A and B are shown apart, each in its own frame.
Chain A
């Protein structure tokens, strides 16, 4: 070990010299601990963003401009990768050792998986994490793996009931439904009195979770390492979903392009209610029904027989362990997760901050969407942050599709999901 030290120091000095030259500054190389002015950090940071390029992307690009003004020697390459492909592409690139970005916007469920595979740089005590106590506990919990921090929470989200106030009013409902029973009745009234569909379902695993949590169910019991997806509570939840469809409260949803179809139906006033999160708001406001923003209502998801709860979602910023520009990446992550940056994002595109202090920012307090989502966020249920977490959704999706298609009933469907989970997590009971 001791013999290695001089060579390691030499390499470090070389790297620093090279990076200083790359920045064109011509300053003398200094060891990282003595960097007094972080704005002198130089390098090139490639960031894979996963937001929707048309509705959310511009806000992040504007933030990057601010970052570059503050750190003139860091060049940021902005790459937008569709959120359904980023995980796969990152794994491929990280494993191969070429083409991986320096910073990735990682979904909360991916973070522990990437960390377990050794792809992420540990961030404890680095400049990337600023005031860790300021973060909300739910999002912060998603950044930990084996006790170490591997990411910084960027935005958080959860699901809510998003509805068209005009259609509900025409159906005789001033208030959004608070329970599943009211949801069904409201939807049926909308259908009878306005001709529009009541509830547009999105056939996706994440969107099934509020129904399960509502009945007191869950996918896994992490503390006891137990698979609990095939529980009576979940069977009841699936029966509720099946009943919403068979009663006509929700039209039978398409299983392909389900998300897009539900969104289009809401935006065009063809459906009165959907479940969705804050990330969808900027797109919804582009729809003709919501030119008047006042027409959009946001309420907590309706309660099942036990409680009203939706899953915790959101996105973290993580740094690839093989990055050649780690110091610059630290500064970038730090900048993008400051309370000011989060407030700007919340103000412009209604994504929820992960910092407690950001919520006292006037820009955030002035945003009506955030004001509605904050209390919902407080009851959101963190998902199991385990490396296999990302694999739990495909079997559930297949089950949901066969439930909607009438190929299997609630009990058979959960039994099939349970079997697949046992194949994924072999040492769980």
Chain B
């Protein structure tokens, strides 16, 4: 215990030391608040074990040629020596020079942008609607939150059934209406539309609830004052509602972007990446690298690091932009 406490303190010292030149306040803070440090230590230790170690191991693996066949193990009578080697950036070079990566990246970006735009747009619309006094408001809220309560894999299977080209409900209705059925998941374009529709259905409730919370924190007096000043509905929306929601919006959009970018279950369960590998996004492709046949640990680790790096750059850039526009965080 004491050992780890000291280590944490040392790390804290060097980090703080760069910003403030004097170590004095820190030592005083440790003296005054030693219990706080003691309480933080277990969390830090757990974080290091649960997040730091796998991350470091993943980065290391991505620099080797480790696969399931050469990673080495002893199982019962079978002893297989480890024979993987450090190969530097070879995995990264291979991925970044392959056409597959750029294809998947383009579709992942389109998928993320379209999904988040629809999530936010529809979520905001519903939130504004539900923020007014209307009958059965709580019933609507419960109904609209339902898709979020359904586990993603259940939702994926329901939609898969709805989309079935021969026996699905959607095509059933189309045929009843005298139109031909559509092979929803069999054509790249309709399959892309189909997965986006499923993800929007699943993601809107969260946006709606978060934005509804934001709306309710905007003081009603502002709207009353604006009305007195003769502002129309659209003016009130753009001048009060949107700025009032800004903090909530920036957070949920960032979260939504990261989630959607990595939205594995929908793609994997609804289309399995098909037809061909047209609807495969970066994470599902990385999964396939990792979990088909003899598993390619190093290759999929490299995919993982690339995806992580892109998201970190995105998040940092996004926060910078917001801060430069005067947002506190």
Contacts and interface: CB of A to CB of B under 8 A. Distances in A.
Interface of A: 88, 91, 94-95, 97, 113, 116-122, 252, 254-257, 261, 264-265, 320-323, 326, 387-388, 390-391, 394, 398-399, 401-402, 404-405, 407, 424
Given A257-B160, A401-B274, A405-B276, A326 B76 contact: yes
Contact of B167 (A261, A326, A399, A404): A261
A94 B75 contact: yes
A405 B160 CA distance: 18
Given A113-B294, A254-B186, A387-B294, A264 B167 contact: yes
5 contacts: A97-B73, A113-B293, A116-B294, A252-B183, A264-B167
Contact of A91 (B68, B185, B277): B68
Nearest to B291: A88
Interface in B183-212: 183, 185-188
B324 interface: no
Contacts of A255: 183, 185-186, 274-275
Nearest to B74: A118
Nearest to A321: B76
A88 B271 CA distance: 19
B122 interface: no
Name, among A252, A265, A401, the residue most crowded by chain B CB atoms within 10 Å (CB to CB). Answer: A401
A245 to B, nearest CB: 12
Contacts of A254: 164-166, 183, 185-186
Contacts of B185: 254-256
Contact of B77 (A88, A113, A321): A321
B78 interface: yes
A97 B68 CA distance: 13
A401 B275 contact: yes
B252 to A, nearest CB: 32
B100 to A, nearest CB: 10
Contacts of B73: 95, 97, 118
Contacts of B319: none
Contacts of B75: 94, 97, 118-119, 320-322
A117 B69 CA distance: 5
Interface in B292-311: 292-295
A321 B80 CA distance: 12
Contacts, number: 101
B141 interface: no
B292 A402 contact: no
B236 interface: no
Nearest to A416: B276
A256 B276 CA distance: 11
B275 A402 contact: yes
Contacts of A320: 75-76
Contact of B166 (A88, A265, A326, A391): A265
Contacts of A407: 188, 275-276
Contacts of A94: 75
Contact of B164 (A252, A261, A399, A402): A261
B interface: dominant SS: loop
A336 to B, nearest CB: 21
Contacts of B293: 113, 388, 390-391, 424
Contacts of A402: 275-276
Size band of the B side of the interface?
Answer: 20 to 34
A394 B291 CA distance: 12
A220 to B, nearest CB: 14
B69 A405 contact: no
Given A91-B68, A122-B77, A391 B292 contact: yes
Nearest to B297: A95
Name, among A117, A320, A321, the residue most crowded by chain B CB atoms within 10 Å (CB to CB). Answer: A117
Contacts of B186: 252, 254-256, 401, 404-405
Given A255-B275, A391-B292, 8 more contacts: A118-B75, A118-B78, A254-B165, A254-B183, A256-B274, A261-B164, A265-B166, A388-B293
Nearest to A322: B75
A118 B77 CA distance: 9
B274 A398 contact: yes
A391 B272 contact: no
Given A97-B75, A116-B69, A256-B271, A398 B276 contact: yes
Contact of B76 (A121, A261, A404): A121
A321 B183 CA distance: 46
A250 B262 CA distance: 38
B111 to A, nearest CB: 18
Contacts of A405: 186-188, 275-276
A251 to B, nearest CB: 9
Nearest to A389: B293
Contact of A121 (B68, B77, B183, B288): B77
Nearest to A121: B76
Contacts of B80: 117-118
Contacts of B188: 405, 407
A146 to B, nearest CB: 12
Contacts of A394: 288, 292
Contacts of B276: 398-399, 401-402, 405, 407
A97 B74 CA distance: 9
B264 to A, nearest CB: 15
A404 B271 CA distance: 16
Given A97-B75, A117-B68, A118-B73, A388 B275 contact: no
Interface string B152-184: 000000001001111100000000000000010
Contacts of A322: 75-76
Nearest to A120: B78
A387 B292 CA distance: 12
Name, among B75, B165, B291, the residue most crowded by chain A CB atoms within 10 Å (CB to CB). Answer: B75
Contacts of A388: 293-294
B227 to A, nearest CB: 53
B294 A398 contact: no
Contacts of B292: 390-391, 394
Q: Give the 4 A-B residue pairs with the shortest CB-CB distance, closest first.
A: A391-B293, A321-B76, A118-B78, A254-B165
Given A254-B166, A256-B186, A264-B167, A95 B68 contact: yes
